[in-house]
A and B are shown apart, each in its own frame.
Chain A
Amino acid sequence: MSVLPKINMRRTLLIARRDYFGYIKTWGFWISFFLPFVFGIIGFFAASMDFDFSPPKYETILDQTGQHEAGIKAKLDADNQKVMRTAIEGMTKTPLFSDQQGEALLKAFDDGGTEAAKAYIRATIPTAAGQLDNALDNLDFNVIFVEPPARSLDGLMPYLLGDSKIMVDGEPQKLNGALLLTPNGSETKIEYWSTQINSPKVQSLTERYFRDRAEDAYLSSKGLSKEGLKAARSGSSEVVIYNPEKAADETGGGQAVTKEDRIPYAVAMGLSIVLWFTVFSGAYMLLTSMLEEKLNKLLEMMLASTRFSEIILGKLLGVAALTITALAPYIIIGIVGIIGVIAVGPPEISAALQQSFTPQILLFFALFLVLGYIFYGACFIALGSLSQSMQDAQTLTTPIVLILTLCMLVVPIGLENPDSPIIYAASFFPLSSPFAMLIRLPSNPQLWEVLLSVGILLLSCIAVIMLAGRIFRFGVLSGAGVGAVSAWFKRTVLRRSAG
């Protein structure tokens, strides 16, 4: 006798179809579906139209000490340069640039400033130069110092209150704030006046300027300088990481770890995240679908013409199709992004990316996706069948949602240390194995370990489906709910009367 339940595929697919179209036909679904595209289009147009979401704020400095105005302005320029460098550094970490190209871009910026960096980008990656240029042009340099329109605080007040305007490039503008520096004995009294009380940029800039001055004064009192400190730091050693598992080149070298070597881990992490979202959103849809049918009392009617197993499998299939459809925008955007990087990125990155999607990782991703979805889906169906309301469902699913969330936490651990004992154990524990084993795959675990993990998960799926079927039957037809679970817990675990 087979342990697997009998299934009539026609009825199963009818149930799947109903669940699928039940959601697909709603406005809400299509709004969610198109939202990423709508935001993408809005973002694209905003970027192309050079729309400034954070217009510049005009500030002025009234320096009655005559000592700090130039220094504060220079500090702002240095800050802006730092922001620009950070942005360029961020670009170098994307797969668009190889390590060498990234270093060359930073050097171009350090040597020749923003324009030199842009020129390097245009020469190296002409296809993406337009977007990168825009990204750099749109950096948030929104503090602009202007000459004070009056020489006293009283005189500045109408401008600060918006009653009078300052002229900038022939256009009237509001003065956002005024920094007032007045002598106070040997100290400087600093006041910042503005109606924009949640805009601390000038305050922070000024504080950092005075802190730097204090540091400079201290260092010079010891005969030292900041430049000297920087020079001493730049001479420090950089640690190069080597991987003995990496094949050496013909010169016997080439085992240094590069960005390309890390790409498979990033791919595995990305797939784990996709897996988690698929499982999580699919399981929740199953829960709500189950609950709807239970509350609508439709299940009893269906059960007069359908097997339990067909309802469970039909739901799993219908919601799986629905989840894939719901995630399609993100999947499409992801695939387009990957293809884009492969097409326009540096050859070594393109090659590394292509090599990351090995048949092995794709096969096990598909296996873990299906099994993980079935495992958690069956759990959520069972819990949905025990619930009498959404509140019940939330109460019952809280532990399993916590477990799912914890499973997500293993991903960064696995990325940093794929051989850690916790990841090793998690890759065989059915609740976490889909995520943990996937993140271990780039570190080439033994094949038997991967197969064992799949086997345990498969057996767990069968057990959970059988258990879910019993709970489903019990929950749907006996009207059992949270109360029954609580009574069972008190009776069996706490060994006391449920009262």
Chain B
Amino acid sequence: MSNSPLSLSNVSKSFAGKPAVQGASFTVNPGEIVGFLGPNGAGKTTTLRMALGLIDPDEGDVKLFGETPGEQAFGRIGFLPEERGLYKKQTAREAIAHMARLNGVKGREAFKLADDMLDKYGLGDAKRKKNKDMSKGMAQKVQLLSAIAHNPEFYILDEPFSGLDPVNQQVLEGIVREISQGGNTIIFSTHVMEHAERLCDRIILMSGGRVVFDGSTESALDKAPRRMVLSSESGGLTEIVTPFAKSVEQREDGALQLVLKDDAKAHVILEECVTKKVKLTRFEPKAPTLHEAFVELVGADVTAQMDLDAQEALS
């Protein structure tokens, strides 16, 4: 039996004849933080719902803790759905304790857990506040705490950063880091590449219902074009760098921006400049971003759509 928290093998799902997920395969390994990225409609939520057994795939195989999703996973999973909500008339502690109890925590222990978590995450004053009286950000934090209070092994968070202000996004990042420190496994979907870049060991990118990238964050960044900015007081720089570059562009400040060829090495360019006695005033390799990697992987249009989705989700 596999000890992977989640494994999908060639999974497909259609709604009313329209494919939502096509042939998705990936495995989430124990202890990983996996960022599940893609624009709206890429099939992320459908994939996560199939992972939980909320909907059945038309084809393929889903294994949760090595078995078909079902009751054996109850209590071992913390799930935060994409769309948010709480019982309006419940208090924050009741909401957290209720979900914890459904996940197997005993009555008093659940309430103590709820109190401790609310204190820990700065919501101590809101313990007895009804959910309907909370701000959107507070309510989202309470729902997240409801999903994780029972300390599950595997966290499935669907768009956890959506709708949070920057301060609460930082808080949430902190929570994700903290739960990962205990060796727990996390998969979260997001449109916001920066969160994935900062938090994830691994990234799975979906587009048009297909997994278009699955690998470590580093390997994703390797897909991004390598850029470098150089400037010189003397002439001849363009001639030196052109053999190393896919493209050379002159910026408004007079500096040259290069997109390096795959085999080009920064230190070789520097040595060439020294040899040719070109006095450099700027030599700045640019760190690749996931955004650039995704433009490479799925094209500029899809990446632009993800940016728009991210702005919408965070607004």
Contact = CB atoms under 8 A, between A and B. Distances in A.
B108 to A, nearest CB: 14
Interface in A260-318: 292-293, 295-298, 300-307
B74 A297 contact: no
B71 A295 contact: no
Contact of A18 (B15, B52, B83, B87): B87
A298 B86 contact: yes
Given A26-B89, A298-B86, A300-B81, A14 B52 contact: no
A476 to B, nearest CB: 9
B85 A11 contact: no
Interface in B6-23: 15
A435 B83 CA distance: 42
B87 A297 contact: no
Nearest to B80: A301
A478 B52 contact: no
Residue of B79, B85, B90, B102 ringed by the most chain A CB atoms within 10 A: B102
Interface residues of A, number: 25
A302 B102 contact: yes
Given A295-B85, A296-B85, A305-B74, A477 B49 contact: yes
A307 B71 contact: yes
Given A296-B85, A304-B52, A18 B75 contact: no
Contacts of B55: 477-478
A14 B101 contact: yes
B99 interface: yes
Contacts, number: 68
Interface in B21-75: 49, 52, 54-55, 71, 74-75
Contacts of A22: 87, 89-90
A306 B87 contact: no
B282 interface: no
B206 interface: no
Nearest to B143: A301
A365 to B, nearest CB: 33
A8 B104 CA distance: 11
B86 A14 contact: no
Residue of B15, B85, B101 ringed by the most chain A CB atoms within 10 A: B85
Nearest to B75: A305
A295 B86 CA distance: 10
Contacts of B276: none
A297 B77 contact: no
Interface residues of B, number: 30
B185 to A, nearest CB: 15
A230 interface: no
B86 A477 contact: no
Contacts of B87: 18, 22, 292-293, 296, 298
Contact of B102 (A6, A292, A306): A306
B103 interface: yes
A301 B98 contact: no
Contacts of B156: 304
Nearest to B55: A477
Contacts of B103: 305
20 contacts: A14-B102, A18-B87, A18-B90, A22-B89, A25-B89, A292-B88, A295-B85, A296-B86, A298-B87, A300-B49, A300-B79, A300-B81, A302-B102, A303-B52, A304-B54, A304-B78, A305-B74, A305-B103, A306-B74, A477-B55
Given A301-B80, A301-B143, 13 more contacts: A6-B71, A11-B102, A296-B87, A297-B81, A298-B87, A300-B83, A301-B99, A302-B102, A304-B77, A305-B75, A305-B77, A305-B102, A306-B74
Interface of B: 15, 49, 52, 54-55, 71, 74-75, 77-81, 83-90, 98-99, 101-103, 143, 146-147, 156
Interface of A: 6, 8, 11, 14-15, 18, 22, 25-26, 292-293, 295-298, 300-307, 477-478
List 10 tightest A-B contacts by C-beta distance, closest first.
A296-B85, A304-B79, A297-B83, A300-B81, A297-B85, A305-B103, A305-B74, A305-B102, A477-B54, A304-B52
